[in-house]
Amino acid sequence: MTDDILTHSSDKQGILTGSCLLMDQEPEILSLRPEQFADYVGQTEVVEALKIAIEAAIQREEPVDHILFHGPPGLGKTTLAHIIANEMGGNLTSTSGPSLEKGGDLIGILTHLEDRDILFIDEIHRTPKIVEEFLYPAMEDFAVDFVFDKGIHARSHKYRLNRFTLVGATTRVGLLSAPLRDRFGIFRSLDFYNESDLAKIIRRSAALLKVTVDDEGANELSSRSRGTPRIVNRLLKRVRDYSQVRADGIITKKTVEAALVLEGVDEKGLTDLDRKYLKTIIEFYKGGPVGIEAIAATLQEETDTLVDVIEPYLLKVGLVTRTSSGRKASEAAYKHLGFSFQKRMFQ
């Protein structure tokens, strides 16, 4: 029976091997994330500033300044951290603010970093305060302080760290404490992509996925992707599946439209949750203004989900406005959803 098991495992090429199998190199497994600035599309000013900072740091043979990226999800903050590590010739260690529950978690990571390594902390604004305080000396002096024993027997020991670069990413920069924010030497905001840049990303991703997309198909898909590369790549895969099963395998405007109807994505890129959000303001609260907590309670969604995921794009395209007394649906939102818009004299 043992021989049968070994023979069966051999037929399947083994579950664990020391080499890269052909199946590991298939397009579905390979990442669509660019690995160098030459392949990165969009965020021109941010990329140019990073290139200058990295080249200068390499010439001085020192790590680049600590970097903070902020902006809505899916715009390339994690991708830029990977590219920075590749350009600096260091290793990337990734973690997130909520996963660093105690100081020991962070210290264990910091003490294993080598010179010019990159530590990437996603959602850094959610780092617990007690952990954040360990970051201050680590970022400024490349050292952490250990305290042994308690009371009158307490002793402090300073442990020297290798010179690393911290790359932080946040969707809520206002929630960062001032002491932490001020310790970043490079502070960059990422904005939504225009449709021409998204079309370039589509063509690059389509080539990696070995799927054909025509110009009209790329333009239609880019217009429905909320200005976000992560979304455009996700929708591209769904359209690829549809064109493979229901069409001739070529992504056209017609296949994009048909595939995204099934995904619930309309011509402006709004999802079912986006439309429910707008309809709640219009139908339940007469167009607003209404507080975000009331909207979240009506939709039975988390407030953070609405603020971080739903609202940035709706604000960007002018479908909703944010006032001191709450959120209001714009005239464009009424028209997009097919509601008649009447201005109220007292709003």
Q: Spell out the SS3 assignment of the chain.
A: CHHHHHHHHHHCCCCCCCCCCHHHHCCCCCCCCCCCHHHCCCCHHHHHHHHHHHHHHHHHCCCCCCEEEECCCCCCHHHHHHHHHHHHCCCEEEEEHHHCCCHHHHHHHHCCCCCCCEEEEECHHHCCHHHHHHHHHHHHHCEEEEEECCHHHCEEEEEECCCCEEEEEECCHHHCCHHHHCCCCEEEECCCCCHHHHHHHHHHHHHHHCCEECHHHHHHHHHCCCCCHHHHHHHHHHHHHHHHHHCCCEECHHHHHHHHHHHCCCCCCCCHHHHHHHHHHHHHCCCCCECHHHHHHHHCCCHHHHHHHHHHHHHHCCCEEEECCEEEECHHHHHHHCCCCCCCCCC
pLDDT confidence of 203, banded at 50, 70, 90?
very high
Least confident of 6-10, 27-31, 39-43: 6-10
pLDDT (mean) for 200-213: 91
Q: Please name the residue that has the structure tokens 């962070």.
A: 106
pLDDT (mean) for 132-149: 83
Own/partner long-range contacts of 301-305 (Cβ < 8 Å, ≥24 apart): 301/273
**pLDDT(101) > 60:** yes
Q: Residue 54: its pLDDT value, please?
A: 93
Q: What is the pLDDT of residues 210-263, one digit of tens each?
A: 888 899 989 999 999 998 999 999 999 999 999 988 888 888 899 999 999 998
pLDDT confidence of 153, banded at 50, 70, 90?
low
Q: Residue 53: its pLDDT value, please?
A: 94
Q: Please name the residue that has the structure tokens 């037929």.
A: 11
**pLDDT(345) > 70:** no
Q: Residue 7: its pLDDT value, please?
A: 45
Residues in the chain, total: 347
Strands 143-148 and 67-70: unpaired
Rounded CA gap, 277 and 327, in Å?
Answer: 11
CB 158 within 8 A of CB 113: no
Residues 6+ apart with CB under 8 A from 229: 41, 42, 74, 75, 76, 79, 193, 198, 201
Nearest to 256 by CA among 308, 226, 215, 294: 215
pLDDT confidence of 343, banded at 50, 70, 90?
low
Share of the chain above pLDDT 90, in %: 41
Rounded CA gap, 156 and 159, in Å?
Answer: 10
Of residues 149 and 287, more confidently modeled: 287
Q: Residue 28: its pLDDT value, please?
A: 44
Q: Residue 151: its pLDDT value, please?
A: 67
pLDDT confidence of 174, banded at 50, 70, 90?
confident
Q: What is the mean pLDDT of the chain?
A: 84
Nearest to 70 by CA among 100, 43, 110, 106: 43
Rounded CA gap, 273 and 305, in Å?
Answer: 10
Q: Which two tokens stand for residue 184?
A: 């970043």
Q: Residue 164: its pLDDT value, please?
A: 93
Of residues 183 and 12, more confidently modeled: 183
Q: What is the pLDDT of residues 51-100, one digit of tens each?
A: 999 999 999 989 999 999 999 888 989 999 999 999 998 899 999 989 88
pTM over 0.85: no
Q: Residue 120: its pLDDT value, please?
A: 94
CA dihedral 170, 172, 176, 180 (to 10 degrees): 20
Which residues are known catalytic residues? 77-78, 122, 171, 230
Q: What is the pLDDT of residues 117-138, one digit of tens each?
A: 999 999 999 999 988 888 888 8
Phi, psi of 322 (to 5 degrees): -110, 120
Q: What is the pLDDT of residues 286-341, one digit of tens each?
A: 888 999 999 999 999 898 889 888 898 999 889 999 988 899 999 999 999 888 87
